[in-house]
């Protein structure tokens, strides 16, 4: 747990100290900044590149979530007799 906390703090420090970065390659940036129309499109182009960057990680995350969901479901199926007992939060009162 302590390692995870230290790792999270280091990651937060790296992100906080990182300078601003453009999402474009050098050729794309040159092509966009040299034309008047490109200068208007440049910020939208940066956002589009970032969206394309996030999409594969999102797909991978969904795949991992489905795999773990299947593993958890199979574990619950194997241990069902122990876990299948009904849990009664508010038992019915019997009247005398």
Q: Is the dihedral of CA 76, 80, 86, 89 positive or negative?
A: negative
Average confidence score pLDDT of the chain:
76
CB 38 within 8 A of CB 32: yes
Q: At what angle do helices 36-78 and 26-33 cross, to 10 degrees?
A: 140
Query: Quick one: pLDDT band at residue 70, thresholds 50, 70, 90?
Result: confident
pTM score, whole prediction: 0.44
């Amino acid at each position: 747990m302590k390692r995870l906390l230290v790792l999270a703090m280091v990651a937060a420090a790296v992100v906080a100290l990182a300078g601003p970065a453009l999402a474009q390659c050098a050729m794309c940036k040159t092509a966009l900044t040299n034309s008047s129309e490109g200068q208007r499109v440049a910020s939208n182009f940066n956002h589009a590149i970032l969206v394309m960057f996030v999409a594969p990680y999102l797909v991978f995350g969904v795949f991992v979530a489905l795999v773990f969901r299947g593993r958890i479901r199979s574990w619950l199926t194997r241990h069902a007799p122990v876990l299948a007992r009904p849990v009664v939060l508010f038992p019915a009162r019997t009247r005398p």
